[in-house]
Amino acid sequence: MTLALPAALATPASRLPSVGTTIFTVMSALASETGAVNLGQGFPDFDSDPVLMQAVKDALDAGHNQYPPMAGLPALREAVAAKIAALYGTAYDPVGEITITAGATQAILTAVLALTQPGDEVIVLEPAYDSYEPSIEMAGARSVRVPLTPGTFRPDFDRIAAAITPRTRALIVNTPHNPSGTVWTETEMAQLAALLRPTPIVLIADEVYEHMVYDGVAHQSVARHPELAARSVLISSFGKTYHVTGWKVAYAAAPAALMAEFRKVHQFNVFTVNTPMQHALARYMADPRPYLDLAAFYQRKRDRFRAGLAGTALRLLPCEGTYFQSVDYSALPEPIAALDENAFCRWLTTEVGVAAIPMSAFYRDGVNQQIARLCFAKRDETLDRALGRLVESLS
């Protein structure tokens, strides 16, 4: 039975009229329906560290079931501040400059709502994570899309500069980058600092894959660059780092003046975040090895996956960070190579048995480059099963 609205009640005007079911939901449902190996959505299919799970149980047994402080458990904020200082050199005050959030998506929305006004412009570099533009729309601001360089997905500073107007209030930067797997360099961060120096633009830095950077490269957090840190809201994710995406716990770090505005929205958005998980994370962070070892852990999976994909006709794009591998399918035989990205990913799911996400889903206007994104945050046996199907069908 479907409930009908009363005759006197009009269908409400949508705040997000262009938003429908996400491609991630569509492809996951198709994978489930067809029995495909789901390399579409970005979440692990393996368990987290039993030490962290035990810390949660201990927190529950200790009765940590009531509200923590609005900004987050002090011990967890202190642990985050210590980690950032040790890795990147910037000392954030855990009292006034760090807030624990209900996932990174909430942190992004809160930052946009707190720091923009209706009519402001926010520059988004595409391809971009799909929550950015809806967050901007809900704030009444306007997104200004600037493409990363086609093929390499590196920032084009001339195009970014050309997009800046007197109405530009914020710029969202994501490194390591989802979906392309590129990682910004120290030189590019210096160029960004120089570009923003004479402006009042706030930088929203999505760094949820900060610990997944490969081949000995250092993650260029805004916290490594004092000039950028002074105008940035840095966002990272416990869910991504500790393989617990369903917990939806993350954090934001920013100068006190920005964080004060962030918290005004946060307290009426979610108010605060799951108490026992915060206690467990604070305890678990006393040992830095889980995040320090994460790059090596995922690099082994990346290398295993890329070695297997080398036996197909897919062209591998560089994967400098994240747990996503993008592939160009233009060298496949016709008519498959001629399919647009949505059609190709549907074909790959239903006919080959491996689900992927079209790169075009990360563009507002659905740019087709014959590229699909695959997630390798999976057990080795899951990756091997997917690779077996891909090699058999696409070699």
Instruction: Name the region of 281 (left: φ>0; alpha: ψ -120 to 50; beta: rest).
Output: alpha
Residue 23 binned pLDDT confidence (cut-offs 50, 70, 90): confident
- pLDDT in the model for residue 12: 82
Residue 118 structure tokens: 């209706």
pLDDT of residue 332: 97
Pick the CATH number of 50-287 from 3.40.50.300, 3.90.740.10, 3.40.50.980, 3.40.640.10: 3.40.640.10
37 strand-pairing partners: 354
- Contact, 81 vs 94, CB < 8 A? yes
Buried b / exposed e along 204-237 (16+ C-beta atoms within 10 A): bbbbbbbbbbbeeeebbbbbbbeebbebbbbbbb
Mean of the per-residue pLDDT values for the chain?
96
Instruction: Convert the pLDDT of each residue in 2-21 to its tens digit.
Output: 788 888 887 788 888 888 77
* Average pLDDT score over residue span 328-332: 97
pLDDT of residue 69: 97
- At residue 217, the pLDDT reads 94
At 167-207, the pLDDT tens digits run 999 999 999 999 999 999 999 999 999 999 999 999 999 99
Burial bucket for residue 131 (CB in 10 Å: 0-12, 13-18, 19+): middle
The pLDDT value recorded for residue 5 is 85
pLDDT given for residue 266 in this prediction: 98
Taking the C-alpha atoms of residue 232 and residue 230, their distance in angstroms, rounded to an integer, is 6
The pLDDT > 90 percentage for the chain reads 91
pLDDT score of 24: 85
At residue 309, the pLDDT reads 98
Predicted confidence (pLDDT) per residue in 79-137, tens digit: 999 999 999 999 999 999 999 999 999 999 999 999 999 999 999 999 999 999 999 99
CATH class name, domain 23-42+292-394: alpha beta
The residues near 216 (Cβ < 8 Å, ≥ 6 apart) are: none
Place of tokens 């500073």: 157
pLDDT value, residue 2: 79
Quick one: residue 153, left, alpha or beta (phi over 0 = left, psi -120 to 50 = alpha)?
left
Percent of the chain scored above 70 by pLDDT? Answer: 100
What pLDDT digit, counting tens, does each position of 128-160 carry?
A: 999 999 999 999 999 999 999 998 999 999 999
- Please compute the mean of the pLDDT values over residues 229-253 and round it to a whole number: 97
Mean pLDDT of 222-234: 98
- Cβ-Cβ contacts under 8 Å for 256 (sequence gap 6 or more): 93, 96, 97
Fill in the amino acid letter for 387. Answer: L
Residue 60 has a pLDDT of: 97
Distance CA 116, CA 119 (A): 8
Residue extents of the structural domains in the chain: 23-42+292-394, 50-287
Strand partners, 202: 170
**Collapsed DSSP state (helix, strand, coil) of residue 250:** strand
User: What pLDDT score does 153 carry?
Assistant: 97
Give pLDDT, residue 120: 98
pLDDT mean over 303-327: 98
Stretch 311-317: mean pLDDT: 97
